[in-house]
């Protein structure tokens, strides 16, 4: 079974802003999402900065969901395979 390295987002680009996605693993996406939330909670940002961070956070949440869905599928497949023995 191969390790899952990146979510199914095509070329790894963020469609919202056209930049390369820096979150190549679940842990990276989760950590960056936590940073984004922390910056938003601190306040003191312009509206544009807040919106950009919110959009990045939404993207990262989707990346995390993709990784978690993939992990869930792998666990379910392994359990089903073990039940077939």
Question: pLDDT tens-digit profile of 48-67?
Answer: 999 999 999 999 999 999 99
* pLDDT attached to residue 13: 41
User: Helix, strand or coil for residue 13?
Assistant: strand
Beta-carbon contacts of 2 under 8 Å, excluding residues fewer than 6 positions away, are none
Domain boundaries defined on the chain? 26-83
Sign of torsion over alpha carbons 15, 30, 10, 19: positive
User: Tens digit of pLDDT for each residue in 1-50?
Assistant: 333 333 343 334 444 444 456 778 999 999 999 999 999 999 999 999 99
pLDDT at 83 over 90: no
* pLDDT attached to residue 75: 97
């Amino acid at each position: 079974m191969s390790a899952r390295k990146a979510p199914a987002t095509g070329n790894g680009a963020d469609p919202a802003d056209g930049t390369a996605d820096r979150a190549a693993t679940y842990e990276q996406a989760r950590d960056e999402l936590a940073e984004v939330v922390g910056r938003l909670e601190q306040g003191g940002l312009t509206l544009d900065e807040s919106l950009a961070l919110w959009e990045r956070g939404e993207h990262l949440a989707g990346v995390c969901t993709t990784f978690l869905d993939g992990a869930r599928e792998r666990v379910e497949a392994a359990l089903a395979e073990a039940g077939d023995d």
